[in-house]
Amino acid sequence: MALRSLITTRTLTRGAKSVGFGLRGLQTFTLPDLEYDYGALEPAISGEIMQLHHQKHHQTYITNYNKALEQLDQAITKGDASTTVKLQGAIKFNGGGHVNHSIFWKNLTPANEGGGDPPHGSLGWAIDTHFGSFEALIQKMNAEGAAVQGSGWVWLGLEKEFKKLVVETTANQDPLVTKGASLVPLLGIDVWEHAYYLQYKNVRPDYLKNIWKVVNWKYAGEVYAKECP
């Protein structure tokens, strides 16, 4: 099973850059690889969910984002203001979906590769300062994530201007910046039903409880350290 998923990930286009170039230099996007196998996050997140989530959902966002970008490019060239504005919804939704999921894959890592290990260094200290304790942060994110009505995300973000950590939720595929222009996402958890339904059914709180076992705090710490040297 591991071998099969290994082959699957390796046949996808490898590359640090997940972009391509169109005819007129319009930059389009391709599905970024995962750093781990689909089954590597079990039992917290099933391999079936990971594969569907990555190969179907994320891919669909990218496909539709590219389509919307092409249409936008044409509309801008033609000077078609109403089409340009009309496309903003599709751009925000599909582009947001691509941005959010790209971050999400990096926010996860197998348990035997450091998944779930609490943050150390400056991020760990900042969490204690702003939330009291690591456990308090987890509780807050679980509560807010469970309370999201419909589809959305729950984020641990850094408010760049005041170097403050915040927990925010966004609806649908709105990226974190829609809640504040100076917000940098450190960790996002997808609470769309497709992220957990096959495994946890409607019990979103169980999904939220378990996902912490595969959260990649090292990556979050790196992002934080870059913004707050």
Partner 1 sequence: MECCSCNPFSARRHLLLTESKSSKLPHSRRRFQGSQRASKVVAYYGLKTPPYKLDALEPYMSRRTLEMHWGEHHRGYVEGLNKHLEKSDVLYGYTMDELVKATYNNGNPLPEFNNVAQVWNHDFFWESMQPGGGDMPELGVLKQIEKDFGSFTNFREKFIEAALTLFGSGWIWLVLKREERRLEVIKTSNAINPLVWDDIPIVSLDMWEHAYYLDYKNDKAKYVNVFMNHLVSWNVAMSRMARAEAFVNLGEPNIPVA
198 belongs to the binding site for partner 1 (CB under 8 A): yes
Alpha carbon distances (Å) from 166 to 55, 57, 128, 218: 31, 28, 12, 18
Binder among 151, 178, 199, 210 for partner 1 (CB under 8 A) = 151
Using the rule CB under 8 A, is 88 a contact of partner 1? no
Any known ligand binding at 53?
A: yes
Instruction: Give a three-class secondary structure readout of 19-73.
Output: EEECCCCCEEECCCCCCCCHHHHCCCCCHHHHHHHHHHHHHHHHHHHHHHHHHHH
| Ligand-binding site membership of 130 (annotated) | no
- Residue 202 makes contact with partner 1 by CB under 8 A: yes
Please give the span between the terminal C-alpha atoms of the chain, in angstroms, as a whole number.
Answer: 42
Are the CB atoms for 190 and 106 separated by under 8 Å? Answer: no
If one asks whether residue 143 binds partner 1 (CB under 8 A), the answer comes out as no
197 binds partner 1 (CB under 8 A): yes
Q: Which spans of this chain sit near partner 1 (rule: CB under 8 A)? A: 52, 56-57, 60, 89, 93, 149-152, 171-173, 192-194, 197-198, 201-202
**Residue list, annotated binding site for Mn(2+):** 53, 101, 190, 194
**Residue list, annotated binding site:** 53, 101, 190, 194
